[in-house]
Amino acid sequence: MEGKELQFNIDFGKQVFFAENAVVSHSQSKFIMDFTQAIPRFDQLPGLKDPKVTMVVKHNPIMMDPKAAKEFLNVLSENIKKFENKFGEIELPKKEITEVAEEKKYQPSSSSYIG
């Protein structure tokens, strides 16, 4: 391979996707991270004084095999540590007691089936 030239074509794909939320699920063979963003859109319809507000929800699902997902977790964790060392701890909002109670009301087991 001496003297051979290797060429790369990098596809940057879409524009940056700013996620406000993520839902993570998994199967035996893959992890699915569904990143979402909600953007209000103001539509001026004929005959209406006020514009109609429509929420546009965009999804950007990412699938990874379990090994890649674990490596991603390690890389993200390391970057969060570096960020907090430089800029201070990232504070998460505390959940209200009623929110925690609502979450615990219905916890389906893996053996439940609807259909």
- List per-block mean pLDDT (blocks of 10 residues) for the chain, which spans 115 residues: 74 79 94 92 75 85 96 97 97 73 52 36
Count structural domains, the chain.
1
Place of tokens 């993570």: 24
Q: What per-residue confidence (pLDDT) applies to 1?
A: 53
Q: Is residue 55 part of a domain?
A: yes
Q: What is the pTM of this model?
A: 0.60
Q: Is residue 103 part of a domain?
A: no
Q: Is residue 9 part of a domain?
A: no
Rounded CA gap, 84 and 96, in Å? Answer: 25
Q: Is residue 35 part of a domain?
A: yes
Domain that holds residue 79: 21-89
Q: Is residue 78 part of a domain?
A: yes
Q: Is residue 106 part of a domain?
A: no
Q: Is residue 15 part of a domain?
A: no
Q: Is residue 59 part of a domain?
A: yes
Identify the DSSP state of 112. Answer: -
